[in-house]
Chain A
Amino acid sequence: MITDVTVSETERWTAALGGAALAMYGLSQRSFLGSILAAGGGALVLGAVISPTARGTKTSLGGTRGVLVDESVAIARHHDELYRFWRELDNLPRFMQHLVSVTTLDARRSHWVAVAPAGRTVEWDAEIIADEPNELIGWRTLDAADVVSAGSVHFKPTGKEEETVVHVRLQYEPPAGKLGAAIARMFGDAPSQSIHEDLRRFKALMEAGEIPTTVGQPRGRQSILNYD
């Protein structure tokens, strides 16, 4: 796994925040970041996001601007199949935990709904800005979106029979500048971890046909000390 998250201004922002706001943001950060994953980018330089090196993306955005996430996973499926599944955008909520829905508007444009902090939902329109069948999909949010981001997913055969590395690259500027990622970082490895988990779910769905779960299984009496 490759991870590259750039965060600054942390001290300035965290000093300004009360404990309650921190806690609320922390509890909801996974949802927020999940919505980011699916978003496309408005003002960002798109060619860079689609370029093969993460460094290129960062440089073209003027160094430390925004948050850059870079995650990959090996999946024992043919790259054609993986591309086709992903390209049907309404499939994405099946493995991206924080997406509620994706509706295709036309050949390029789509409408996205995701769970956001504090229990609200965010919606935006995005467009496909690169589409190389069986290899690459690139996207960005349209200008009016309040989440500014761009991203790409590459599907590359590994050389092993029926195996593909799926590589997601994503750059975004959260509504509160770098605050979202800064706070998220305090609570764990997000946003990389959030995207890592979504890719893990994609892999399970494509390989095993279902995503493993224990939610709803029998349990005895529990303690409030349990960590989840």
Chain B
Amino acid sequence: MKALVWHAKNDVRIETVPDPRILNPRDAIIRITSSAICGSDLHLLNGFIPTMQTGDVLGHEFMGEVVEVGAGNAKLKVGDRVVVPFTIACGHCFFCKSALWSLCDNSNPNAWMAEKLYGYATSGLFGYSHLTGGYAGGQAQYARVPFADVGPLKIPDEIPDEKVLFLSDILPTGYMAAENCDIKRGDVIAIWGCGPVGQMAIKSAWLLGAERVIAIDCVPERLEMASHSGLAETINYDREDVFDRLKSMTGGRGPDACIDAVGLESHGATFDAYLDEVKTSTFLATDRPSALRQAIHACRKGGIVSIPGVYGGFLDKIPFGAAFQKGLTFKMGQTHVMRYMQPLLDRIRDGELDPSFVITHRVPLDDAPQAYQMFRAREQGCIKVVLKPHDETARQVRH
């Protein structure tokens, strides 16, 4: 099959690789009909995520049709149409039973590696470095889905791919970010980052009853989307002081909750450097958390800072004094995708939500390397790219 393969920093290619096969009884094989490029994939392209290996297949936002099912999987059958969550979870450990799916104990074959870095191992993820299991991802024609009787959600035939594809990651991620804000009547929610997750967080904050939503970015078309499609007030941080503006917009009190939908813009950190840091307890900064610093600084007293943006290492100069003195609450982590898929599918089916508005580009899988470059450079107003891996669908988007 064809797949997008990571080779090195700034080097991803389409290659022919072996087809996936069933490796464990609860597995399923999915023939992929749509797959997206995530903002977090750019961290892989830029070489900022440790433990990537030459030959790794990328992609963690995908859906398709079940073509093979393992002997121990009683839930799926060949022909089912499913969206696959980017987190892999066994469904039976303490964490899965507590609905903390992204913290599953049993889905990361490289748990020892994560234990060295974080003390405890979190769940496996598709196509996102060996620290989270080294699972081959879904920017490919087919994918093997482990524990496929837990994660994949069946989708009714009448709902098109583009409306449900983002149940795999960014919609639940934006929704959990808003849910973590514990929104009450009259609340003002400020959101740093108007990429796809930020856009989903804006919509979700409205759904959960926010009084006002303020979106912060510097890219004109993203602010435009936040304003036009998301109906948010916007702040362009290139032109205005974010803290002053937020303060004046809220009568001097500050937003009730702040969402950091930006995450790490890390300096290069190699696998060896990470392990060395752990071993020597030399706490050097690895992530560049400027949005997080602002969010902590701007949040009202007693407010909540919700962090869907990804961080991986050691953060420098976090204003912890401000966080403590103001009595802030922090909520964060990889999304517990399975918790949100069905309720969000219901909202999509009922017409309350249509996350497809973020899609700006649709391209054949063959063009994925160029699409990565375009996405990274934010050329052609690129906000979200959907890949079509098979000829019959690729033909529709080929130009």
Which residues of A are at the interface with B, using a C-beta cutoff of 8 A? Answer: 74, 76, 160, 163, 193, 196-197, 200, 203-204, 207-223, 225-228
Residues on A with beta carbons closer than 8 Å to the beta carbon of B107: 208, 212
The chain A residue with its CB closest to the CB of B24 is A210
Which residues of B are at the interface with A, using a C-beta cutoff of 8 A? Answer: 1, 3, 5-7, 13, 15, 17-21, 23-26, 53-57, 72, 90-94, 97, 105-109, 111-112, 124, 133-136, 140, 144, 146-147, 271
Residues on A with beta carbons closer than 8 Å to the beta carbon of B26: 208-210
Across the A-B interface, give the 3 residue pairs with the lowest CB-CB distance, nearest first.
A220-B5, A208-B90, A223-B54
A214/B97 in contact, CB under 8 A:
no
A219/B55 in contact, CB under 8 A:
yes
Complex: how many Å from CA A221 to CA B21? 18
B92/A218 in contact, CB under 8 A:
no
The chain B residue with its CB closest to the CB of A219 is B55
Which of A160, A193, A203, A227 is within 8 Å of B106, CB to CB?
A203
> Can you list 11 contacts pairing A with B, beta carbon distance less than 8 Å?
A203-B93, A203-B105, A207-B105, A208-B107, A209-B26, A210-B26, A210-B72, A214-B134, A218-B18, A218-B144, A220-B3
Complex: how many Å from CA A220 to CA B54? 7
Complex: how many Å from CA A215 to CA B111? 15
With A74-B94, A217-B136, A220-B55 as known contacts, state yes or no: A200 contacts B24, CB within 8 Å: no
Complex: how many Å from CA A219 to CA B53? 10
With A207-B93, A209-B72, A213-B109 as known contacts, state yes or no: A220 contacts B56, CB within 8 Å: yes
B135/A207 in contact, CB under 8 A:
no
B23/A217 in contact, CB under 8 A:
yes
B106/A204 in contact, CB under 8 A:
yes
The B interface, classified by DSSP as helix, strand, loop or mixed, is: loop
CB distance from A193 to the nearest CB of B (A): 7
The chain A residue with its CB closest to the CB of B95 is A76
A212/B56 in contact, CB under 8 A:
no
CB distance from A78 to the nearest CB of B (A): 13
With A220-B5, A221-B15 as known contacts, state yes or no: A213 contacts B112, CB within 8 Å: no
B146/A212 in contact, CB under 8 A:
yes
Residues on B with beta carbons closer than 8 Å to the beta carbon of A203: 93, 105-106
Complex: how many Å from CA A121 to CA B112? 26
A208/B106 in contact, CB under 8 A:
yes
Complex: how many Å from CA A220 to CA B13? 9
Since A212-B133, A214-B23, A225-B54 are in contact, a sample of 12 more A-B pairs with Cβ atoms closer than 8 Å, ordered by chain A residue number, is A160-B94, A200-B111, A204-B106, A207-B90, A210-B26, A212-B107, A214-B134, A215-B23, A216-B21, A219-B55, A220-B6, A220-B57
With A193-B112, A212-B146, A216-B21 as known contacts, state yes or no: A222 contacts B97, CB within 8 Å: no
The chain A residue with its CB closest to the CB of B4 is A220
A217/B94 in contact, CB under 8 A:
no
The chain B residue with its CB closest to the CB of A162 is B97
CB distance from A195 to the nearest CB of B (A): 12
A220/B25 in contact, CB under 8 A:
no
Complex: how many Å from CA A128 to CA B72? 34
Complex: how many Å from CA A215 to CA B7? 19
Which of A163, A211, A215, A225 is within 8 Å of B94, CB to CB?
A163
Complex: how many Å from CA A203 to CA B106? 8
The chain B residue with its CB closest to the CB of A161 is B97
Residues on B with beta carbons closer than 8 Å to the beta carbon of A210: 24-26, 72
Complex: how many Å from CA A160 to CA B17? 46
Complex: how many Å from CA A212 to CA B123? 11
Residues on A with beta carbons closer than 8 Å to the beta carbon of B18: 218-219
B13/A207 in contact, CB under 8 A:
no
Residues on A with beta carbons closer than 8 Å to the beta carbon of B19: 218
With A76-B92, A209-B72, A221-B54 as known contacts, state yes or no: A214 contacts B109, CB within 8 Å: yes
A219/B146 in contact, CB under 8 A:
no
Residues on B with beta carbons closer than 8 Å to the beta carbon of A193: 112
